Structure 1
Amino acid sequence: MAAAHAAPALQRVDLPPLPSGVVLRAHWLPAEGGDRRPAVLALHGCGGLYAKGGGLAERYRETTERLHAAGYAVLMPDSFGSRGLRDVCQTRYRDRSMNVAQRVQDARAALAWLAAQPQVDTRSIGVLGWSNGATTALNLLEQRRAHPEPGEPAIAGAAVFYPGCGPLAKRQAALETVPLLMLLGALDDWTPAQPCVEFARSLQARGGGDDITVQVYEGSYHGFDGTTPVRLRADVPNGTSSQGVHQGGNPEARAKSLAALDVFWSRVLTTRTAP
């Protein structure tokens, strides 16, 4: 029997200090090969990057391995741990010490760091986010459109799992025009799908969403791409019910969403060879 392949080894890196003085720590996995390769900036959810045992949570470990196997570099900033936090899921939105605006600044700093790496194809950088990280990704596109910074690398595409779209839809946010993939759960009672569906339609109607794909998976709750059974989390106060929120995987939706994600990256993250 052939030996199993070892998981790729992530490197811990410190990004240059933010204007606030925070040193953003991140996990970095360069792609194999000597040429410039596409890269994905991956933004964790409100639970942070880590499992209870201290290692990367299954979702992020699996994602890193999947992207690396496809030939992409991966950067995962640790927005929470860099500020002494573990997670914020159990804290009401208004009481959180770490907000989406701060995470957008983290993402912009991480993109700048990625663009400075000699092995990264700066024309082929994607952004991926889950839940709070997905909301951050959408707000990143809004801020980059409203307040572009000189020399910022282009974003080749953004993929988001179950973001919170309510505030974006309410203010009719305008986003930087990039290919966008939204992966949503029809039964999500934490970050409901409908505001994202309506927001995507609004973007398209306003001429800012020619390349938006929205997938809503039936029978699926928040975290449908995971492998844990669905459970009621009475400790989370930010859903549509005072009883809590449901979270857990749906095997069919998991398989379909990961396949859709693979197709999306293969379309938008294309390494361009020099003539």
Structure 2
Amino acid sequence: MRLLSAMLSLTLLAVACTAGAAPLPAPRQVDIPATGLTLHAQLYKPDGDGPFPTVIALHSCGGLSGQSEPVLLRYRDWAEQLLKTGHAVLLPDSYGSRELDPQCGVKERRVLARRERVADINASRQWLQQQPWVARDRISLMGWASGASALLWAVRPQLSPRGAGPDFRSAIAFYPDCRISSGLGWSARVPTLLLIGADDDVSSPSACRQMVDGARGRSALARIVVYPGAAHDFDRANLPLRAIAGVDAALPERGHIGTDADARKDSRQRATEWLAR
């Protein structure tokens, strides 16, 4: 009888804990007018009327969605984190909107970070500026890998967005490829945080450090954090470190990827603090 009572108590406790954990709401697809196409995006928004600070989140070369899910787990994970801090999250689908599959291993890419993806970023900003639930002066950018590379182009002073409304509030770039930007005298017009692993052999931590160091004195606040021992995709949950075989079109062609628990935890805290500035 005591054993049965104990089991019942544990069951009730588990049910209570499950009931108390609010699941991530399903995203809502929105259609954004853009040059030459309709840009499809997935939107996570807190309950209520706002206005909410909002993050435009930019997917990597693997794309935004999976075969049966509109938003991959890695981005749902971040959306949940951002919703907890009161942010809405808009995830434009640069590939799906153009009926393209993942672009990691594509040699002749039709969607370039410095061109189409910057256009998608600016179209997303213009759309958000028209939404009554958006805090128009608190629209920020966050991107991963190729999405982070697009972010670096989008925040350059030469590419200040047209149209009414305040500029982006801030930007956070996870492990972009800085090799082109570092040779072009990169600088930012909005506060920009770059997070990358020291052992990232997909991107180039040394090029990113050179790029940020070279911008000092002629840029808005730009900071870089290099995590010792961390590889590409360090912020993804439950991803064992492994070498890339080069056969998955949704993954980079070379290098290593994997979770780094310490870097993941620290990056989430830093991102929260950066967006709260």
**Structure 2: distance between partners of 1:249 and 1:80:** 25
Alignment correspondent of 1:137? 151
Question: SS at the partner of 1:23?
Answer: strand
Measured after TM superposition, the shift of residue 52 of structure 1 is 4.6
Measured after TM superposition, the shift of residue 236 of structure 1 is 7.4
**Structure 2: distance between partners of 1:188 and 1:57:** 22
Taking a change above 3 Å as real, the CA distance of residues 151 and 55 of structure 1, as seen in their structure-2 partners, is closer
Match of 1:196 among 208, 226, 237: 208
**Structure 2: distance between partners of 1:226 and 1:187:** 15
| Residue 76, structure 1, aligned to residue 91, structure 2 | yes
Residue deviations 1:196-242 (CA, integer Å, cap 9, x gap): 111111111x4214x222110111111000121111113179xxxxx
| Residue 65, structure 1, aligned to residue 84, structure 2 | no
Alignment correspondent of 1:256? 266
Measured after TM superposition, the shift of residue 116 of structure 1 is 0.7
Aligned residues: 255
8 Å CA contact retained: 1:112, 1:153: no
Match of 2:125 among 111, 132, 140: 111
Letter in 2 for 1:73: A
5+ long unaligned stretches in structure 1: 238-242, 268-275
**Structure 2: distance between partners of 1:115 and 1:28:** 15
Measured after TM superposition, the shift of residue 260 of structure 1 is 1.1
**Structure 1: distance between partners of 2:91 and 2:273:** 21
Measured after TM superposition, the shift of residue 257 of structure 1 is 1.0
TM-score by length of 2: 0.86
**Structure 1: distance between partners of 2:181 and 2:100:** 26
Taking a change above 3 Å as real, the CA distance of residues 71 and 147 of structure 1, as seen in their structure-2 partners, is closer
Alignment correspondent of 2:32? 15
Question: SS at the partner of 2:243?
Answer: strand
Alignment correspondent of 2:59? 44
TM-score by length of 1: 0.87
Letter in 2 for 1:181: L
8 Å CA contact retained: 1:145, 1:174: no
**Structure 2: distance between partners of 1:111 and 1:215:** 27
Alignment correspondent of 1:232? 243
**Structure 1: distance between partners of 2:161 and 2:98:** 26
Q: Runs of 4+ in structure 1 displaced over 4 angstroms? A: none
Measured after TM superposition, the shift of residue 110 of structure 1 is 0.3
Q: Percent identity?
A: 34
Match of 2:48 among 33, 50, 55: 33
Residue deviations 1:223-272 (CA, integer Å, cap 9, x gap): 000121111113179xxxxx8211111111111111111111122xxxxx
User: Relative to structure 2, which stretch is displaced further, 109-118 or 225-234?
Assistant: 225-234
5+ long unaligned stretches in structure 2: 1-12
- How large is the Cα RMSD of the aligned pairs? 2.0
